[in-house]
Amino acid sequence: MKRILVPTDFSIQAENALKVAVQIAEKNNSEIYLIHSLEMPLHLSSAGDSGGMPESLFFIKLAEKHFEELLEKPYLEDLEIHEAIGHGEVYDDINEVALNKEIDLVVMGSHGISGFKEMFIGSNTEKVVRTSKVPVLVIKNEHEDFNITNFVYATDFSENSRDSFKEAQKFAKDVNAQMNLLYVNTPGNFITTTEANNKMTEFIKEMNTENYTLNIYNDTSVEKGILNYAKENDASLIGMCTHGRQGIAHFFNGSISEDLVNHANRPVITFKI
């Protein structure tokens, strides 16, 4: 993990994400890329070449000032930090930087179980999670010691989830975490314990997986099953796969990924199939 991207609106929540990114970077000798999307008022972003220029420059200078203040923080010492100002939508700016700089991980901040606000509001977060080709780690709270001892990774153990599972394996290895693999059994998609065990075992034996457990949890929905299992087992992190622009993979249909990101009062990471 050589390059980590942290979007920032200079809020406390964004700084919580940055502090986690710093801890990961220190363990992996990574570079950190900071990006701030201006998201200027509509009358400025739609102005002609001359109309909104003075006010636009004001917002750019203000962002530069915020960057200067942020980069003076002691916890950023001895790290290689790159900063940039984006001029498009948040998710577009993030994906552009991720592609051009070969980013390995995006770390985003949020406002807790009430959902995302400010630059991370609703559709922005959903679009980042769904469109990002690299893993997205969402941080809810401040973590003085981001030590992942219990990484719950929920999957349907299907063939098309193998690539995202490999990415999750790589992440777990980078942060030295055990993977507790989870299959959620629901009334609408019920299989027996024997069938579930066979499904998981067949999947795992071809993946060269180390340091893991296999777990089956019964609940009324996949989302509730993941949240309840994570709570009962005091998970440090919840992981799942997404289908990107096409929605959520297999039993991660509907809005399960974004609901989990909003409702789980713990870090969540997504991996694109």
Residues 6+ apart with CB under 8 A from 156: 183, 249, 250, 251, 252
d(CA 193, CA 216): 8
Could you tell me which residues are beta bridge partners of residue 33? Answer: 5, 82
> Could you tell me the residue ranges of all domains in the chain?
3-139, 151-272
Per-residue pLDDT of the chain (273 residues; tens, 9 = 90+): 899 999 998 989 899 999 999 999 999 999 999 999 886 655 555 545 444 567 778 888 889 999 999 999 999 998 999 999 998 888 889 999 999 999 999 999 876 544 444 444 445 666 788 788 899 999 988 999 999 989 999 999 999 899 999 999 999 998 999 999 999 999 999 999 999 999 999 999 988 888 999 999 999 999 999 999 999 999 999 999 876 544 444 344 445 666 677 677 899 999 987
Evaluated on CA atoms 123, 95, 182, 24, the torsion sign reads negative
Single pTM value for the model: 0.87
What one-letter code names the amino acid at 141?
Answer: N
151-272 has the same fold as 3-139: yes
User: Torsion-angle region of residue 164: left (phi > 0), alpha (psi -120 to 50) or beta?
Assistant: alpha
**How far apart (Å, rounded) are the C-alpha atoms in residues 66 and 194?**
56
Four-residue CA torsion sign, 249, 250, 255, 260: negative
Q: Identify the sign of the CA torsion 227, 20, 243, 130.
A: positive
d(Cα 72, Cα 49) in Å, to the nearest integer? Answer: 34
Sheet holding 136-139, edge to edge: 81-86, 31-37, 3-7, 105-109, 136-139, 268-272, 237-242, 151-154, 179-185, 212-218
Which CATH architecture is the domain 3-139 placed in? 3-Layer(aba) Sandwich (3.40)
Alpha-carbon distance of 173 to 162, in angstroms, equals 16
Which CATH code, of 2.30.290.10, 3.40.50.300, 3.40.50.620, 3.60.20.10, is assigned to 151-272?
3.40.50.620
